[in-house]
């Protein structure tokens, strides 16, 4: 909402403050300032001058030399402007002054243009006469200004006067962000009321007097509202003998300051009242209205209607229409029809000020794809009481401006007037909510300024109809807080029962995983939760893969963001590809993010949101670097040595010979592998990428921070090295399982120290060497018992065809 300060001052004459003070204080009482625009920005040393004499320039055909009276002296100005004559009163910028922009009306420079005396073709010039564009405005706002050339005052000014003052440019427009609950503040009167209350000054809204001749409007027009839910109030008045003319300067200046172009008295009055009262009005040419009746009803599905912008639009049954006895003549609250448009030949005018259901206007305007200033106001849900007030104000202006003859009386279809809201005045409760100690007298003072009356007999606050946002004590408490001042409310801390601050176990586990990943060189990343369904193909998932059962967003930003991810890899691979494209070396990333697994499709209940920790890396690394990170992580979670890596080829996006499921207690908590070369192609990546995905909901319950001291070994260990020969396709995991099974409690640890394939070994075979450490907690082991265990292990190994190396 833009508010020119001059307009606000029209209702709050005692308001004395700079635009910045006005903006700041209004912000603290609830109208948040967005910007302040000074209309006199960069306008310095500009006075009214009277051209006394014009002579030709001796050396230039297109220049003239003017003697200009600027009050206390007469100065010489050379100009190329074609439109001035002797006796004209013009704005003159003096030597050392400043103007806002050039005469072409282009974008104004930040600091304006400095004007200095100088010579033009050898003739001295001591200033410059200004066009309206040079003064930072335009012909849109000052229709009387010439198309090319110097602005010439038509009004009563004298040489030496402040020209900026005379043009009404010593003003600032403050733009406020109005919250959706304060419909009343989308009007100049509403903002002025707030300003008066904020600055504790008197508020003088316009005084509207009775208007109209002795005739009865009911002889001119009948109104029938068929849907009073969508149109709670419809008022109409008639103006005859219309005399179109420009509106007066004060009205033009106020509209210009709001960025509204003055057109003629009729249009300007409707716009003026719309800004002043926040109530859109519509004008119909009464002579175009069939049967002299207005019917407000819903459109029929598929109706075609041409709005006054000449566009044909298709209606549906939820769009409210204004109709006459034969046809539709306007879309209620949105735009009038071409067929009833006011033209320059208008003789008799029908004014409409109505209240339409805000939600319906908003939804209709969206469906039709037409949003206007009027619909923007209506969709906020206007106060029906305001309609008649605005109508009467408009008619008053018609009479004041001599724009026509107002017919007596008004049509007012208002079957269910708004009920007055009364709220109990509960000062103690308000203070208890705010933590303040404001007296009842003070509260009532605040309320009086914003027109909340108090009924002492019933101890009730009477809420005016324009404050549709006040329903209960908390709402009134906010009014108290606003005018008491949020900054005056004390600062305390809650003093109830104390509570223990904590994080859930799950987050503790996540934190540890983050720490381990970072210690191992992984950076935390973040990717989107939604992606393209094409991802499934990129990841080579078969047509029947369960991952393809994904939740679709019904109104996505585009196909690329249209499904909720069911697998976390796409984000990781995309990020790695970005890094690769940027030629970053040795990149390691991890991400915590949910996947969304629907229980059934279409979705009837919330999906299973599963937190995934995804790790990905390329560069100086291989499978076992990543596996080491996983082992590190599990170890930090009290799960060291408990995991099993089961070779698999079930993940189509991974290299079939380089992938494994990671099991804990027989349950899969993660998978790990090298990205499939075809997937690498799909992501435009070269080289090798390794990824691991941990399913946190499976991992978290297994994690434990329960540690018990087991003592340090008191008895010596006994080591046995086993160097074995086996077929290449035997995995060491199989050996380790045997070590664990047969080693029992006495096997303290085992360590792989060599894998060899080559000349010394038969083709298709490899040599693997382990060092086994045995130890008992309570005694020194006998050689014999260790030998027995090793024997047992060898027996089992033999079953796999594994022999000790000769």
Partner 1 sequence: MKERLEAIKKAALEKIEKADAMESLNDIRVSVLGKKGELTQVLKGMKDVAKEERPIVGQMVNDTRAVIEDALEKEMTLLKKKIREEKMKREVIDVTLPGKTHEKGHRHPNQIALEDLERVFIGMGYEVVEGPEVEYDKYNFEMLNIPANHPAKDEQDTFYINKDIVLRTQTSPVQARIMETGKMPIRMIAPGRVFRSDEVDATHSPSFHQVEGLVVDKGITFADLKGTLEQFAKEFFGPDTKVKFRPHHFPFTEPSAEVDVTCFKCGGKGCRMCKGSGWIEILGCGMVHPHVLEMCGIDPEIYSGFAFGIGLERVALLKYEIDDMRLLYENDKRFLSQF
Subset of residues 466 to 505 that bind partner 1, contact rule: CB under 8 A: 472-475, 477-478, 481-482, 486-487, 489-504
Cα 153 to its chain centre, rounded Å, is 45
Q: Which of 12, 169, 517, 797 binds partner 1 (CB under 8 A)?
A: 517
Site string for partner 1, 23-42 (x = CB under 8 A): ----xxxx-x----------
Burial class of residue 376 in the structure, from the number of CB atoms within 10 Å of its CB (0-12 exposed, 13-18 middle, 19+ buried)? middle
Q: Residue 463 in contact with residue 385, Cβ under 8 Å? A: no
Cα 230 to its chain centre, rounded Å, is 29
Long-range pairs, 472-475, Cβ under 8 A, ≥24: 472/423, 473/423, 473/424, 473/426, 473/429, 473/430, 473/433, 474/433, 475/423
Helix 440-449, helix 188-199: angle, nearest 10: 150
Write down the least CB distance from residue 528 to partner 1, Å.
5
CA quadruple 564, 570, 572, 574: dihedral sign? negative
Identify residues 333-392 at the interface with partner 1 (CB under 8 A). 358-359, 362-363, 379-380
Site string for partner 1, 101-140 (x = CB under 8 A): ----------------------------------------
Gap between the Cα atoms of 685 and 671, Å rounded: 21
Write down the least CB distance from residue 70 to partner 1, Å.
36
* Closer to partner 1 by Cβ: residue 306 or 519: 519
Q: Residue 294 in contact with residue 305, Cβ under 8 Å? A: no
Identify residues 139-198 at the interface with partner 1 (CB under 8 A). 179-182
Write down the least CB distance from residue 534 to partner 1, Å.
18
Q: Residue 198 in contact with residue 26, Cβ under 8 Å? A: yes
Coil, helix or strand at residue 325: coil
284-296: buried (b, 16+ CB within 10 Å) or exposed (e) per residue?
A: bbbebbeeeebbb
Gap between the Cα atoms of 549 and 551, Å rounded: 7
Gap between the Cα atoms of 137 and 159, Å rounded: 22
Write down the least CB distance from residue 482 to partner 1, Å.
5
Q: Which of 507, 713, 752, 795 binds partner 1 (CB under 8 A)?
A: 507
Write down the least CB distance from residue 626 to partner 1, Å.
13
Write down the least CB distance from residue 198 to partner 1, Å.
11
* Closer to partner 1 by Cβ: residue 454 or 530: 530
Half-sphere exposure of 236 (CA within 13 A, CB side): 26
Record the tokens describing residue 527, joined without a space: 């990717």
Write down the least CB distance from residue 555 to partner 1, Å.
6
* Closer to partner 1 by Cβ: residue 452 or 473: 473
Q: How many CB atoms lie within 10 A of CB 546?
A: 10
Q: Choose the binding region for partner 1 from 21-29, 58-66, 280-288, 737-745 (rule: CB under 8 A).
A: 21-29
Q: Residue 59 has what DSSP assignment?
A: T
Write down the least CB distance from residue 640 to partner 1, Å.
21
Gap between the Cα atoms of 625 and 643, Å rounded: 16
Record the tokens describing residue 214, joined without a space: 């002795």
Write down the least CB distance from residue 552 to partner 1, Å.
7
* Closer to partner 1 by Cβ: residue 91 or 525: 525
Q: Which of 148, 250, 505, 528 binds partner 1 (CB under 8 A)?
A: 528
* Closer to partner 1 by Cβ: residue 338 or 688: 688
Site string for partner 1, 420-459 (x = CB under 8 A): ------------xxxxx-----------------------
Q: Residue 588 in contact with residue 572, Cβ under 8 Å? A: no
Total of residues contacting partner 1 (CB under 8 A):
89
Q: What is the dihedral of CA 461, 465, 469, 474, to 10 degrees?
A: 0
Site string for partner 1, 225-254 (x = CB under 8 A): ------------------------------
Identify residues 552-611 at the interface with partner 1 (CB under 8 A). 552-557, 561, 564, 575, 578-579, 582, 584, 586-591, 594, 596, 602-603, 606-607, 609
Identify residues 606-645 at the interface with partner 1 (CB under 8 A). 606-607, 609
Q: Which of 234, 446, 447, 522 binds partner 1 (CB under 8 A)?
A: 522
Write down the least CB distance from residue 357 to partner 1, Å.
10
Concatenated DSSP letters for 428-465?
HHHHHHHT----HHHHHHHHHHTT-EEETTTTEEEEPT
* Closer to partner 1 by Cβ: residue 343 or 498: 498
Burial class of residue 441 in the structure, from the number of CB atoms within 10 Å of its CB (0-12 exposed, 13-18 middle, 19+ buried)? exposed
Tokens 């130890």 identify what position? 775
Write down the least CB distance from residue 675 to partner 1, Å.
16
257 closest CA partner among 190, 174, 186? 174
Write down the least CB distance from residue 296 to partner 1, Å.
21
Would you count residue 207 as binding partner 1 (CB under 8 A)? no
63 closest CA partner among 129, 133, 121, 147? 121
Write down the least CB distance from residue 334 to partner 1, Å.
16
* Closer to partner 1 by Cβ: residue 270 or 365: 365
Site string for partner 1, 726-765 (x = CB under 8 A): ----------------------------------------
Identify residues 254-313 at the interface with partner 1 (CB under 8 A). none
486-506: buried (b, 16+ CB within 10 Å) or exposed (e) per residue?
A: eeeeeeeeeeeeeeeeeeeee
Write down the least CB distance from residue 9 to partner 1, Å.
23
Site string for partner 1, 530-549 (x = CB under 8 A): x-------------------
* Closer to partner 1 by Cβ: residue 383 or 478: 478
Q: Residue 396 in contact with residue 271, Cβ under 8 Å? A: no
* Closer to partner 1 by Cβ: residue 435 or 801: 435
* Closer to partner 1 by Cβ: residue 590 or 774: 590
Coil, helix or strand at residue 563: strand
Write down the least CB distance from residue 563 to partner 1, Å.
10
């Amino acid at each position: 909402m833009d508010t020119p300060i001059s307009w606000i001052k029209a209702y709050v004459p005692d308001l004395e403050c700079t635009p910045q003070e006005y903006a700041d204080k209004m912000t603290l009482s609830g109208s948040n300032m967005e910007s302040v625009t000074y209309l006199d920005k960069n306008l310095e040393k500009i006075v009214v001058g009277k051209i006394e004499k014009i002579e030709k320039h001796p050396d230039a055909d297109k220049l003239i030399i003017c003697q200009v009276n600027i009050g206390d002296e007469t100065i010489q100005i050379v100009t190329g402007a074609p439109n001035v004559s002797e006796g004209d009163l013009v704005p003159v910028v003096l030597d050392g002054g400043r103007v806002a922009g050039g005469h072409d009306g282009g974008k104004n420079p930040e600091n304006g243009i400095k004007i200095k005396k100088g010579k033009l073709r050898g003739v001295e010039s001591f200033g410059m006469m200004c066009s309206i564009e040079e003064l930072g405005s335009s012909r849109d706002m000052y229709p009387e200004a010439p198309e090319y050339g110097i602005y010439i005052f038509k009004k009563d000014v004298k040489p030496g006067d402040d020209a900026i003052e005379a043009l009404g440019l010593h003003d600032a427009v403050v733009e406020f962000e109005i919250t959706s609950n304060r419909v009343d503040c989308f009007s100049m009167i509403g903002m002025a009321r707030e300003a008066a209350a904020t600055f504790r000054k008197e508020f003088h809204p316009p005084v509207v007097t009775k208007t109209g001749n002795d005739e009865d409007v009911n002889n001119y027009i009948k109104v029938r509202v068929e849907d009073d839910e969508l149109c709670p109030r419809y008022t109409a008045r008639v103006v005859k003998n219309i005399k179109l003319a420009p509106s007066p300067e004060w009205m033009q200046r106020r509209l210009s300051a709001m960025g509204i172009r003055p057109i003629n008295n009729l249009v300007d009055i409707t716009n003026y009242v719309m800004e002043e009262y926040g109530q859109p009005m519509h004008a119909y040419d009464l002579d175009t209205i069939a049967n002299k009746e207005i019917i407000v009803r819903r459109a029929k599905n598929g109706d075609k209607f041409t709005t006054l912008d000449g566009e044909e639009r298709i209606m549906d049954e939820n769009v409210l229409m204004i109709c006459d006895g034969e046809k539709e003549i306007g879309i209620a609250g949105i735009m009038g029809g071409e067929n009833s448009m006011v033209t320059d030949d208008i003789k008799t005018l029908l004014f409409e000020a109505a209240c339409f259901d805000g939600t319906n206007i908003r939804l209709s305007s969206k469906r039709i794809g037409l949003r206007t200033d009027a619909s923007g106001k209506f969709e906020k849900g206007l106060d029906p009481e305001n309609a008649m007030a605005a109508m009467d104000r408009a008619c008053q202006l018609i009479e004041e401006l001599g724009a026509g003859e107002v017919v007596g009386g008004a049509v007012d279809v208002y079957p269910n007037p708004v009920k007055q809201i009364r709220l109990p005045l509960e000062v103690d409760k308000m203070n208890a909510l705010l933590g303040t100690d404001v007296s009842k007298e003070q509260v009532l003072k605040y309320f009086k300024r914003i027109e909340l009356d108090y009924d002492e007999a019933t101890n009730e606050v009477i809420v005016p109809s324009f404050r549709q946002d006040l329903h209960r004590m908390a709402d009134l408490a906010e009014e108290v807080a606003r005018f008491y001042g949020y900054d005056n409310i004390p600062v305390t801390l809650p003093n109830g029962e104390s509570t223990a601050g904590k994080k859930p176990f799950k987050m503790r586990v996540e934190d540890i995983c983050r720490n381990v990943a970072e210690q191992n060189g992984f950076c935390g990343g973040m990717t989107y939760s939604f992606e393209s369904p094409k991802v499934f193909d990129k990841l080579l998932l078969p047509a029947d893969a369960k991952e393809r059962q994904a939740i679709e967003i019904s109104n996505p930003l585009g196909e690329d963001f249209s499904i909720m991810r069911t697998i976390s890899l796409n984000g990781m691979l995309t990020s790695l590809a970005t890094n690769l494209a940027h030629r970053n070396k040795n990149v390691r990333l991890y991400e915590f993010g949910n996947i969304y697994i629907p229980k059934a499709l279409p979705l009837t209940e919330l999906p299973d949101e599963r937190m995934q920790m995804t790790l990905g890396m390329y560069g100086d690394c291989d499978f076992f670097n990543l596996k080491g990170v996983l082992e590190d992580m599990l170890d930090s979670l009290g799960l060291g040595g408990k995991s099993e890596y089961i070779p698999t080829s079930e993940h189509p996006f991974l290299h079939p010979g380089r992938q494994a499921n990671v099991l804990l207690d027989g349950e899969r908590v993660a998978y790990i592998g090298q990205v499939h070369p075809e997937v690498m192609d799909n992501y435009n990546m070269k080289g090798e990428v390794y990824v691991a995905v941990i399913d946190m909901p499976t991992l978290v319950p297994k994690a434990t921070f329960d540690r018990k001291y087991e003592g340090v070994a008191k008895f010596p260990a006994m080591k046995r090295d086993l160097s074995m020969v086996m077929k290449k396709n035997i995995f060491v995991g199989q050996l380790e399982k045997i070590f664990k099974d047969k080693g029992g409690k006495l096997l303290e640890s085992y360590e792989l120290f060599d894998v060899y394939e080559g000349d010394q070994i038969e083709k298709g075979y490899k040599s693997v060497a382990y060092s086994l450490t045995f130890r008992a907690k309570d005694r020194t082991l006998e050689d014999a018992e260790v030998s027995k265990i090793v024997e047992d292990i060898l027996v089992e190994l033999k079953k796999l065809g594994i022999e000790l190396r000769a």
